[in-house]
A and B are shown apart, each in its own frame.
Chain A
Amino acid sequence: MRFERRARVPWSLAVAAPFAAIAAALALSAVLILAAGVNPLLAYVEMLRGALGSRLAVTEMLTRAVPLVLTGLAVAVAFRARLWNIGGEGQFYLGALAVAWVGHDLISGLPPAAGIAVLTFVGMMAGALLLSGPAYLRLRFGVDEVVTTLLMNFVVILFVGLMIEGPLRDPLAFGWPQSVPVDGAYHLPDLIPNTRLHIGLLIALAAAGIVWLIVARTVFGTEARAAGFNARAAEFAGVSLPRTIIGVALLSGGLAGLAGGIEVMGVTRGVTTTMSPGFGYAGIVVAMLAALHPAGVVAAAVFVATIFVGADAMSRATGVPSFIADVIVALALLTMLVALLFSSYRIRR
Chain B
Amino acid sequence: MIESLDLLFSASLWAAVLRIATPLIFGVLGALLCERAGVLNLGIEGIMTMGAMIGWLSVFLGADLWTGLLVAAAAGALIGLLHALLTVPLGLSQHVSGLGITLFAAALAYYLYRLIVTVGESPPTIEPFRPLDIPILSDVPFLGPVLFAQTAPTYLALISVAIIAYVLARTPLGLAIRMTGENPHTVESQGLDPTLIRIGCVMAGSALMALGGAFLTTAAFNSFFPEMVQGRGWICIALVVFSSWRPGKALLGALLFAFLDAYQLRLQAVVEGVPYQLFLMAPYLLSIVALILVARRARVPEALMTPYRRGER
Number of interface residues of A (CB under 8 A): 43
Min CB distance, A331 to chain B, in Å? 6
Within the complex, which residue of A147, A155, A324, A330 is in contact with B238, where a contact is CB–CB below 8 Å? A147
Instruction: Please determine whether A166 and B275 come into contact, CB atoms closer than 8 angstroms.
Output: yes
Instruction: Please determine whether B104 and A330 come into contact, CB atoms closer than 8 angstroms.
Output: yes
A45 in the interface, Cβ–Cβ < 8 Å? no
Which of B155-163, B171-179, B229-237 contacts the other chain?
B229-237
A176 in the interface, Cβ–Cβ < 8 Å? no
CA of A151 to CA of B284, assembled, Å: 6
Within the complex, which residue of B99, B107, B287, B298 is in contact with A327, where a contact is CB–CB below 8 Å? B107
Instruction: Please determine whether B90 and A341 come into contact, CB atoms closer than 8 angstroms.
Output: yes
CA of A338 to CA of B97, assembled, Å: 10
Q: Across the two chains, which residue of chain A brings its CB closest to B293?
A: A141
Min CB distance, B79 to chain A, in Å? 11
* CB-contacts of B77-101 with A (<8 A): 82, 86, 90-93, 95-97, 99-101
Number of interface residues of B (CB under 8 A): 43
CA of A327 to CA of B104, assembled, Å: 6
Q: Across the two chains, which residue of chain B brings its CB closest to A29?
A: B111
Instruction: Please determine whether A141 and B296 come into contact, CB atoms closer than 8 angstroms.
Output: yes
Min CB distance, A93 to chain B, in Å? 13
B140 in the interface, Cβ–Cβ < 8 Å? no
B52 in the interface, Cβ–Cβ < 8 Å? no
* CB-contacts of B95-144 with A (<8 A): 95-97, 99-101, 103-104, 106-108, 110-111, 114-115
CA of A331 to CA of B275, assembled, Å: 39
Instruction: Please determine whether B292 and A321 come into contact, CB atoms closer than 8 angstroms.
Output: no
B296 contacts across to A, CB distance below 8 A: 141-142
B260 in the interface, Cβ–Cβ < 8 Å? no
B101 contacts across to A, CB distance below 8 A: 334
Contacts A151-B235, A334-B104; A284 near B241 (Cβ below 8 A): no
Instruction: Please determine whether A338 and B241 come into contact, CB atoms closer than 8 angstroms.
Output: no
Which of A156-164, A212-220, A246-254 contacts the other chain?
A156-164
CA of A121 to CA of B101, assembled, Å: 35
CA of A321 to CA of B108, assembled, Å: 11
Contacts A141-B295, A144-B241; A162 near B103 (Cβ below 8 A): no
Instruction: Please determine whether B234 and A338 come into contact, CB atoms closer than 8 angstroms.
Output: no
B270 in the interface, Cβ–Cβ < 8 Å? no
Within the complex, which residue of A137, A148, A158, A330 is in contact with B100, where a contact is CB–CB below 8 Å? A330
Instruction: Please determine whether B281 and A159 come into contact, CB atoms closer than 8 angstroms.
Output: yes
* CB-contacts of B188-237 with A (<8 A): 230-231, 234-235, 237
Min CB distance, A291 to chain B, in Å? 12
Contacts A159-B281, A324-B111; A284 near B96 (Cβ below 8 A): yes
B1 contacts across to A, CB distance below 8 A: none
Q: Across the two chains, which residue of chain B brings its CB closest to A161?
A: B277
Min CB distance, B236 to chain A, in Å? 10
CA of A159 to CA of B284, assembled, Å: 12
CA of A150 to CA of B241, assembled, Å: 15
CA of A281 to CA of B106, assembled, Å: 12
* CB-contacts of B22-49 with A (<8 A): 42
Instruction: Please determine whether A150 and B234 come into contact, CB atoms closer than 8 angstroms.
Output: yes
Instruction: Please determine whether B103 and A329 come into contact, CB atoms closer than 8 angstroms.
Output: yes
Q: Across the two chains, which residue of chain A brings its CB closest to B107?
A: A326
Instruction: Please determine whether B90 and A338 come into contact, CB atoms closer than 8 angstroms.
Output: yes
Min CB distance, B41 to chain A, in Å? 12
A166 contacts across to B, CB distance below 8 A: 275
A153 contacts across to B, CB distance below 8 A: 231
Instruction: Please determine whether A334 and B111 come into contact, CB atoms closer than 8 angstroms.
Output: no
A334 contacts across to B, CB distance below 8 A: 82, 86, 97, 100-101, 104
Min CB distance, B59 to chain A, in Å? 21
B5 contacts across to A, CB distance below 8 A: none
Min CB distance, A120 to chain B, in Å? 28
Instruction: Please determine whether A330 and B107 come into contact, CB atoms closer than 8 angstroms.
Output: yes
CA of A141 to CA of B291, assembled, Å: 9
Within the complex, which residue of B104, B111, B237, B284 is in contact with A154, where a contact is CB–CB below 8 Å? B284
Q: Across the two chains, which residue of chain B brings its CB closest to A333?
A: B100
Instruction: Please determine whether A281 and B103 come into contact, CB atoms closer than 8 angstroms.
Output: yes
Within the complex, which residue of A148, A158, A321, A338 is in contact with B281, where a contact is CB–CB below 8 Å? A158
B288 in the interface, Cβ–Cβ < 8 Å? yes
A323 in the interface, Cβ–Cβ < 8 Å? yes
Min CB distance, B205 to chain A, in Å? 17
CA of A36 to CA of B113, assembled, Å: 12
- 1/0 per residue, CB under 8 A from A, across B246-258: the answer is 0000000000000
Min CB distance, A55 to chain B, in Å? 30
Instruction: Please determine whether A288 and B103 come into contact, CB atoms closer than 8 angstroms.
Output: no
Instruction: Please determine whether B231 and A143 come into contact, CB atoms closer than 8 angstroms.
Output: no
Instruction: Please determine whether B114 and A143 come into contact, CB atoms closer than 8 angstroms.
Output: no
Min CB distance, B180 to chain A, in Å? 21
A84 in the interface, Cβ–Cβ < 8 Å? yes
Instruction: Please determine whether B292 and A137 come into contact, CB atoms closer than 8 angstroms.
Output: yes
Question: Which residues of chain A have a CB within 8 Å of any CB of chain B?
Answer: 32, 35-36, 79, 84, 86, 137, 141-144, 146-148, 150-155, 158-159, 161-162, 165-166, 281, 284-285, 288, 321, 323-324, 326-327, 329-331, 333-334, 337-338, 341
Task: Name 11 interchain pairs, CB-CB below 8 A, sorted by A.
Answer: A35-B115, A154-B281, A158-B277, A161-B277, A166-B275, A288-B96, A327-B104, A329-B103, A331-B104, A337-B100, A338-B90
Given contacts A141-B295, A154-B284, 11 further A-B contacts (CB under 8 A): A79-B96, A141-B292, A147-B237, A147-B288, A151-B235, A153-B231, A154-B230, A159-B277, A323-B111, A326-B111, A334-B101
**5 nearest A-B pairs in the assembled complex, by CB-CB distance:** A326-B107, A321-B114, A330-B103, A330-B104, A162-B277
